[in-house]
Amino acid sequence: MARSRQPNNTRQRRRRRASPSASVRLVEVTIDEIGTRGDGIATVDGNQIYIPCTAPGDVVKVELRGQRGQISELISQSPHRVPPPCPHFGSCGGCSLQHLDAGYYSGWKRGLVINALVRAGFDEGLIAPLVACEPSSRRRAEFSVFKNKAGLTFGFNARRSDRISEIESCSVLHPKLSSRLNDLKIFSSAVPAHSFDLGVMLCNNGLDINIVCEKLDELSAAEISALANQMRAVSCIRLSLNGETEIELEKPITRLGAVEVSPPPGAFLQASQEAENVLAALVLKSLGQAKRVADLFSGSGTFTFRIAEGAAVDAYDADRPAIAALDVAARGASLPHPVKAIVQNLFDRPVMAAELDLYDAIVFDPPRGGSKAQADEIALSQVPKVISVSCNPVSFARDAAILRAGGSTPCRR
């Protein structure tokens, strides 16, 4: 996991408004711990309060509004506090824990997984040490853009706000992406909209950009021409609007295992190549000698093509463009074992237990909310091996408990 998490910019339609103003009082507190969302937690009058950009052991004066506070003065500094590497930390809401030393951060991050699994009745000893990614390795981001008479603002949402914090640099992003921030800002000036989100993914052969703007449905010929010129300047190879391709100078290519894939606009890709490699290695190690595998929630094939080096794979996903990209790549690759691409909504129509019994192993990688319906069917099946992958400890623990109730025995990898 990366130490500084992705600038967590929320799309326009889901942005959170700041809370209405409440009465303010000044209090002095000691930070007890860091909460699951990265805020420091202290106690005032028997109630927990949440203060961003604090570290456990900090003594701070806080401007308190309800249960949330802002640092007014740092009186005594925690031994776990370090200078954040990013000059925008604190104003930009993307990263919440850059001010913590690596040792504490790693323990806190691993603790999120431990706490979720222990609450679900699992043994803490099952959890392996955290594997940290190198800094400056993130290859995708979603920026916010706003234009008015005063000019253009380009950056990430401020913390718990729809206000955009303008950035000039980002220590989380891959250098090939962070070096293009000013170019991306110039590119944004050519987009004929006042407010939009700019999703950018670093591919092997350039940048893949997706504009998310509910009020921009169609581009004129002149607008397309202007944007095409800006695309070349920013090394953008494909431009999409709300997930639909508008201009494609060449097909974006990303390598998943040994296979080159052209993902659809807005496709999911692991945040860093290093994280993808670590996860894939763990999945392959766990599969062992399995000869027929179901890859559930496969996306464009993060694990599929690697699995196909040693086993036949049926890849399932509801995302039709992602499955189409996987299928095209599989047909063009010289893989040792066959890959079958299947469009199926596993939330509404999970693969049933009787169907799953045909496989030697299942790889199960649902979105953040997990998939209880599919977990229920896996639990009813007789599949000898299930490898579950998740980015959410809470939904992972819930689904893991379902599998355990069905007779699965958890193991550490």
Contact assessment for residue 234 and residue 32, using Cβ atoms and an 8 Å cutoff? no
Phi, psi of 380 (to 5 degrees): -80, -15
Contact assessment for residue 47 and residue 27, using Cβ atoms and an 8 Å cutoff? no
Q: If DSSP states are collapsed to H, E and C, what string results for 173-235? A: ECHHHHCCHHHHHHHHHCCCCCEEEEEEEEECCEEEEEEECCCCCCCCHHHHHHHHHHHHHHC
List Cα–Cα distances, 396 to 3, 113, 241, 372, in angstroms: 21, 9, 33, 10
Phi, psi of 174 (to 5 degrees): -60, 140
Residue 207, CA atoms < 13 Å, CB-side half-sphere: 28
Q: Which tokens in the block code for residue 143?
A: 């920026």
Which residue, among 160, 152, 151, has the nearest Cα to 68 in the 3D structure?
160
Catalytic residue among 53, 170, 391, 411: 391
List Cα–Cα distances, 69 to 43, 115, 158, 208, 363, in angstroms: 12, 26, 15, 39, 43
- Distance (Å, whole) CA 39 – CA 96: 7
Query: Helix 372-380 and helix 393-405: axis angle, to 10°?
Result: 30
Which residue, among 270, 272, 271, 345, has the nearest Cα to 300 in the 3D structure?
270
Residue 133 annotated among the catalytic residues of the structure: no
Nearest-5° Cα angle at 287, 341 to 276: 70
Phi, psi of 379 (to 5 degrees): -65, -30
Q: What is the largest CA-CA distance in the chain?
A: 67
- Distance (Å, whole) CA 411 – CA 291: 21
Residue type for 266, please? G
Q: Among all residues, which ones are annotated catalytic?
A: 391
